[in-house]
Amino acid sequence: MASGIYVGSKADFEAMNAFMEEHEIHPVIDRVFDFDEAEEAYDFMGNGSFMGKIVIRH
């Protein structure tokens, strides 16, 4: 069963992005996959052995 979380409003998101830009804060990216590797990316996410963001590049 899937469950969701509340992450805030659009205004909260924009304020967070402005803060991150102002203070030059960058997310940690664990791995980048090409779009045709999306299934592999989801498998990688499912194993839980990552630290940071998983990116699927289009």
What pLDDT does residue 6 have?
81
pLDDT tens per residue, range 15-54: 999 999 999 999 999 999 999 999 999 999 999 889 999 9
Q: How many residues does the chain have?
A: 58
Is 1's pLDDT higher than 70? no
What pLDDT does residue 49 have?
87
Among 55, 13, 8, 4, smallest CA distance to 33 is for 55
* CB-CB contact of 37 with 58 (8 Å): no
Beta-carbon contacts of 23 under 8 Å, excluding residues fewer than 6 positions away, are: none
